[in-house]
Amino acid sequence: MTVIGGFVFMLACVFGGYMVAGGHMGPILHALPFEMLIIGGAAVGTFLMSNSMSDVKHTLAAIGKAIKGGRYKTQDYLDLGALLHRLLRVAQQKGAAGLEPHIEKPEESPIFAAYPRIAKDHHAVHLICDYLRMVGMNADDPHQIEDIMAAELKKVRNEELHAAHALQNVADALPALGIVAAVLGVIKTMGSIDKPPTVLGAMIGSALVGTFLGVLLAYGMVGPLAVRLKGVVEEEARFLEVIRAVLVAHLHGNAPQVAVEVGRKTMPSGLMPNFAAMEAALQEAR
């Protein structure tokens, strides 16, 4: 909601300051639909030209993610620690055979069912199940597993960041597209050079709305949205990094509780539960 609040505050300051200084909204409102058609249409066209259809759908969905903000809260990190602790205890006590039902069909696993928010996160579930399955296949070199997981997490992060890059490219293009709209307005004005000064002044003002709109959309809306989306993606990537830290610590021979504590230390500072809270979550999971 801070994205929407910031956008409304920005518009209020820009147009409020303009009106307080004696400006009139009439010329802007008169030119706005036509300038928006030119600039917005050109921006959408360039966006479609530079991205595949799957990327377009991904970017549109990611805009909602940027507005909502990061989906993980402190409780989700507590749940993740408890979930991994329970799985590692099963692996420790019953071996690969005992763990197999949980990682082959996580949707039917009572352990995953106890943490529904994590169970709905396909990236997290696949990461946990795939690498525990590899461990069960005797791929137990912690350094090799760590490298493979790092490469996969980098790939996932880059794929998720593409939407932010696509929005940033649109933001970079908007000021120039605003100039295109302004030049078209000047061309229109020059074709009416025999009109009275009051008419020419209104036409020039309408042309300048294009430049104003392009800059405002670039630096006041689309650019900040791209930055916000990048921050959300990087914040959510830290959730998967916790899984990597716990599993690698487990492969190094640490007890489940120690492995989870290693993962806790990699959690984002603003969302990291303290030791007592994590210990309480693990006790409850037992």
Q: What is the pLDDT of residues 82-112, one digit of tens each?
A: 999 999 999 888 887 888 888 988 998 999 9
Question: Given pLDDT bands bounded at 50, 70 and 90, which one contains residue 17?
Answer: very high
Q: Which residue type does 249 have?
A: A
Which DSSP helix (H) or strand (E) runs through 141? Answer: none
Model confidence at 140, pLDDT cuts 50, 70, 90, reads: low
- Which tens digits make up the pLDDT trace of 50-77? 999 999 999 998 998 888 888 899 999 9
Return the amino acid letter for 10: M
172-184, pLDDT tens digit by residue? 999 999 999 999 9
pLDDT given for residue 155 in this prediction? 93
Four-residue CA torsion sign, 226, 231, 233, 234: positive
C-alpha angle 88-85-237 in degrees, rounded to nearest 5: 100
Task: Please report the pLDDT score of residue 69 as a whole number.
Answer: 84
User: Which of the four pLDDT bands, split at 50, 70 and 90, describes residue 139?
Assistant: low
Cα distance between residue 135 and residue 178, in whole Å: 56
Which pLDDT score is estimated for 40? 93
pTM of the model: 0.85
Mean pLDDT of 136-143: 74
**DSSP H helical ranges for the chain:** 2-20, 25-49, 53-68, 74-104, 110-113, 116-119, 122-136, 142-190, 197-217, 223-251, 256-265, 275-285
pLDDT, position 30:
87
Q: For 250-277, what is each residue's pLDDT tens digit? A: 988 899 999 999 999 999 998 999 999 9
Q: Which of 189, 165, 169, 187 is nearest to 177 (CA)?
A: 169
pLDDT of amino acid 111:
92
Nearest-angstrom CA–CA distance, 139 and 133: 9
Rounded percentage of the chain residues whose pLDDT exceeds 90: 61
Contact (CB, 8 A) for 232 and 63: no
Measure the CA–CA gap between 108 and 215, rounded to whole angstroms: 52
The Cβ of residue 5 has, within 10 Å, a number of other Cβ atoms equal to 9
Residue with tokens 């009572």: 110
Q: What is the pLDDT of residue 226?
A: 95
The mean pLDDT of the chain is: 90
